[in-house]
Structure 1
């Protein structure tokens, strides 16, 4: 897809129309002219949720593959095929899951706003089609213009919604008195959702490392003042990539190795996440010294808070769940800040280089 932004928008509208047709046809086949409820089993909300998830999954794969031919995406073809397949799969699953969680929430809210309301058949077909169309449109635009910052946003939204869904569906109301990993122990929706969220989020972090590496290699941060590549800066960028990959694999390991069946490995990968985060924070001033100083200070502050929280847990002041939630939140906030600061620093250097290259009158 080598077209302009207007062409991408036009294509997204066509995809939305196809999505509407698919959703409406699904509603026709499932409801057979009945009057389904808004929420619950056999409802408009349930069908919209699953239809939108399937549409989002297919649309993302198509949009992402088509966009790989656009200028600036050449680096994607340098990644091994198996890695590209994993990256696309994780991104597609994340978009589909966000769409499903969003629609099931909307259905739940509407069902409580319109209690005992039944939907006539034509309206039901339209609602399912409309949900699929909106999902197709938004997912296609996201896939067609996937950037590092957008990927980070998808990652955070997916992680928050996934973990929140697991907590709300947990059968034990006092799960938080042990640790957050207990959510992945139950063999029900809560456990499956938590493990799925950890695995996909972990893979997304490794995908994020590829995007961030591409941004660094294309930016003045990895070049000398004369514009030639700086080998030392490239090595530093590679070290950041490795650190993020380790962080992502450890997070995925939390979902793969549940605390009830693989206790030692589960604890090991959990600690590995904190170690990888701490390593990146401590090394970042040397790896990317041209990033803003406040970013380094914030990173050290976050790391100090995480360490202090673990100490508070060790002396019995905090539940482990509180410590884990704080650590997760600070790690992802730091990742988001890293991406924004890399982009800002690269932009400032590019402007400065352009100004220096402009001849003065």
Structure 2
């Protein structure tokens, strides 16, 4: 390679790495801002006190709340830094001019930002509980508490800013999975009745405790996120084949219905309306059955293993329901298996759909 070729290659490498480096620099500034703002609030709050690691009035509780607030702010800042407006991510096809940010875009962005905030809140609370068990009887002095809380907020702001700046449908599927898992596990671990599982999964949302609030809120926000990304996961642009277009429309309607019904399970716990709760839960399984058999027409370029996976999941759900009907499984086990399989398939579909969109964009 000649000197001119090496120089040209170096310029190309520098040009390709410049946006990523600027993004990292902006994320560091966002993290520093989160650190400073949290420290300014923590100093008067902690001054002259000795705080426990976990529990009410603890360092981890303050840090988790601060991290949740910072995450909700950092996500839209990351979106705006990319100059894409308050959109969940840039879903334009190559060469298509940017359209005006719609109300739906803003709503979707707010919901995803809220999901980041809840994830940060719950993760830091859980980590605080683990550290409290590791350092039993220990307490934290004011200065150390300020630094720890500010560091937690700074790290959260840095990570969430990068998540917002680089958000796409593949990353959004991961956020959706983490949010649902963390929320449901937090509700299970904090349930006031340790024998809730003897009834059914919906028993988590029947009381007036924080556990029930966490459970129902997780279902509602997860359902809203599913409805929000339905239009991005079924992109109709540049689709000329009538059969595939009809398939995409059917899949979009199914995703919207699953999101609405999932949110309905949280909006109508059994203690509020048994009829609406059961209609939402059963309806979600029925819509999933249609979705599995309609998706091949909407996404013909997907690998065959994806379609086989859907059929296997559907057959497994039917088998679990049969086991429950004959008394072999308790209702909680049937609900958990069916819920995990439906949600896992949705995550895989979002990733396959996102990979297909990336492939089309690369080809274009």
TM bucket (normalised to shorter chain) is 0.7 to 0.9
Q: CA-to-partner distance for each residue in 1:139-184, whole Å, 9 max, x for gaps? A: 1111111111111111111111111111111111211111111111
2:15 paired with 1:4:
no
- 5+ residue gaps, structure 2, are 1-17
Quote the residue 1:191 is aligned against. Answer: 212
2:300 paired with 1:312:
no
Number of residue pairs the alignment of both structures matches: 340
Quote the residue 1:152 is aligned against. Answer: 173
Quote the residue 2:4 is aligned against. Answer: none
Quote the residue 2:190 is aligned against. Answer: 169
Whether the 8 Å CA contact 2:119–2:182 is kept in 1: the answer is: yes
Match of 2:122 among 101, 106, 114: 101
Whether the 8 Å CA contact 2:244–2:297 is kept in 1: the answer is: no
TM-score (norm 1): 0.87
- Provide the C-alpha distance between the structure 2 equivalents of 1:66 and 1:333, rounded to a whole number of angstroms: 32
Q: CA-to-partner distance for each residue in 1:298-341, whole Å, 9 max, x for gaps? A: 10010010111111111111111111111111112212222333
Q: 1:339-354 to 2 correspondence within 5 Å?
A: 339-345=350-356
- For the aligned residue pairs, the C-alpha RMSD in angstroms reads 2.3
Per the TM alignment, residue 6 of structure 1 is displaced from its structure 2 partner at its CA by 1.8
Quote the residue 1:23 is aligned against. Answer: 38
Q: 1:21-60 to 2 correspondence within 5 Å?
A: 21-60=36-75
Quote the residue 1:359 is aligned against. Answer: none
Quote the residue 1:129 is aligned against. Answer: 150
Farther-moved stretch of structure 1 (333-342 vs 278-287): 333-342
Quote the residue 1:358 is aligned against. Answer: none
Q: CA-to-partner distance for each residue in 1:40-59, whole Å, 9 max, x for gaps? A: 22111111011111111111
Quote the residue 1:253 is aligned against. Answer: 264
- Provide the C-alpha distance between the structure 1 equivalents of 2:99 and 2:265, rounded to a whole number of angstroms: 30
The 1:66–1:276 alpha-carbon spacing in structure 2 relative to 1, beyond 3 Å, is farther
- Provide the C-alpha distance between the structure 2 equivalents of 1:140 and 1:33, rounded to a whole number of angstroms: 33
- Provide the C-alpha distance between the structure 1 equivalents of 2:71 and 2:128, rounded to a whole number of angstroms: 18
Per the TM alignment, residue 236 of structure 1 is displaced from its structure 2 partner at its CA by 2.4
Per the TM alignment, residue 65 of structure 1 is displaced from its structure 2 partner at its CA by 4.1
The 1:343–1:91 alpha-carbon spacing in structure 2 relative to 1, beyond 3 Å, is closer
3-state DSSP class of the match of 1:36? strand
- 5+ residue gaps, structure 1, are 223-228, 355-361
TM-score (norm 2): 0.87
Whether the 8 Å CA contact 1:19–1:136 is kept in 2: the answer is: yes
Per the TM alignment, residue 297 of structure 1 is displaced from its structure 2 partner at its CA by 1.0
3-state DSSP class of the match of 1:119? strand
Whether the 8 Å CA contact 1:49–1:99 is kept in 2: the answer is: yes
Whether the 8 Å CA contact 2:169–2:354 is kept in 1: the answer is: no
Per the TM alignment, residue 252 of structure 1 is displaced from its structure 2 partner at its CA by 0.3
Per the TM alignment, residue 80 of structure 1 is displaced from its structure 2 partner at its CA by 4.3
Match of 2:138 among 104, 110, 117: 117
